[in-house]
Amino acid sequence: MEPNEEKSLKRRPIRKSAAGIVIIIAGFLLLLFNVGVISPSLKHIFFSWQMLLIVIGIVSLLSSENHTPGYVLIIIGSIFILPRIFEFTFNVSHLLVPTILIAIGIVLLLKRFPHHGFSSKGAMQSLENGYVHEENIFSGSKQRFLQEVFRGGHISCVFGGSELDLTQTTLGEGTNELEITTTFGGVTLIVPSDWKIVLRTTSIFGGFSDKRTHIKESTDNSRVLIIKGSTIFGGGEIKSY
């Protein structure tokens, strides 16, 4: 088994059990609040949209090979939850954009050093050996895959979008995996109508759907594209001409 496949298998149980664990923890916290073990004055901190972003970010770090969306969500949630904990004489929201830009800059620099735990697969956008490796942060891309065979890869969009046209290529033999992660962003895939595609995505305040209106049944079942990953406050769609 290849290292990437082994990592993917290890992360699948985390993806499946994350929602259950979060609900159980929320239930215990609510119970402790109701019986008076935790002061009710803290309830607005633990049960807030800011804390939800932080939790989603932590789950994303544990369940995805691409850590950038998780870090961004944790930073945004932490910045906006600070006024609920401390009293500031200035508007904390003014720190949001500068802090995110600094964090993204640090992430991009550290991506050059694999031992820091950041993904270091190729450049921000690269097409090589049948794989696509793309990351869009506060930006977007629109490109056509012109290599002879498509084997998968990964696409990440954080406050950005991506459109990938795969109509000029052929799906590789066997199982091909494309990991897609969107956080406040979206991905559009344009594929031939006869491709066999299996969706294994997790959506939180978002969704990923196959919107092909005319799907031709392929007689070749030896070529499959598995799309996995997560859409958080974002989405994705599959289309064909």
Give the pLDDT score at 121: 35
Domain ends where: 70, 85, 116?
116
3-state secondary structure the chain: CCHHHHHHHHHHHHHHHHHHHHHHHHHHHHHHHHCCCCCHHHHHHHCCHHHHHHHHHHHHHHHCCCCHHHHHHHHHHHHHHHHHHCCCCCCHHHHHHHHHHHHHHHHHHHCCCHHHCCCCCCCCEEEECCEEEEEEECCEEEEECCCCEECEEEEEEECCEEEEECCCCEECCEEEEEEEEEECCEEEEECCCCCCEEEEEEEECCEEEECCCCCCCCCCCCEEEEEEEEEECCEEEEECC
Number of structural domains (the chain) is 2
Q: What is the pLDDT of residues 108-134, one digit of tens each?
A: 665 554 433 333 333 356 677 889 988
Give the pLDDT score at 1: 43
* CB neighbour list of residue 33: distance below 8 Å, 6 or more residues apart: 40, 42, 43, 46
* CB neighbour list of residue 178: distance below 8 Å, 6 or more residues apart: 132, 152, 153, 154, 155, 225, 226, 227, 228
Q: What is the pLDDT of residues 78-118, one digit of tens each?
A: 878 887 777 766 666 677 677 767 766 666 665 554 433 33
Q: pTM of the prediction?
A: 0.60
Regarding whether 181 and 97 lie in a shared domain, the answer is: no
Regarding whether 227 and 170 lie in a shared domain, the answer is: yes
The more confident residue out of 90 and 137 is 137
Give the pLDDT score at 166: 93
Q: What is the pLDDT of residues 50-64, one digit of tens each?
A: 888 888 788 777 766
Regarding whether 107 and 85 lie in a shared domain, the answer is: yes
Regarding whether 89 and 147 lie in a shared domain, the answer is: no
Regarding whether 109 and 53 lie in a shared domain, the answer is: yes
Regarding whether 225 and 142 lie in a shared domain, the answer is: yes
Regarding whether 104 and 134 lie in a shared domain, the answer is: no
Domain ends where: 62, 84, 116?
116
Regarding whether 164 and 139 lie in a shared domain, the answer is: yes
Q: What is the pLDDT of residues 3-51, one digit of tens each?
A: 444 444 445 555 556 667 778 888 888 888 888 888 888 888 888 888 8
Regarding whether 140 and 167 lie in a shared domain, the answer is: yes
Regarding whether 145 and 110 lie in a shared domain, the answer is: no
Dihedral angle over CA of 177, 165, 149, 12, nearest 10: 0
Give the pLDDT score at 237: 92
Regarding whether 190 and 137 lie in a shared domain, the answer is: yes
Domain ends where: 76, 98, 116?
116
Q: Find the domain containing 81 and state its range.
A: 3-116
Give the pLDDT score at 114: 43
Regarding whether 164 and 235 lie in a shared domain, the answer is: yes
Q: What is the pLDDT of residues 154-201, one digit of tens each?
A: 898 887 889 999 999 999 999 999 999 888 889 999 999 889 999 988
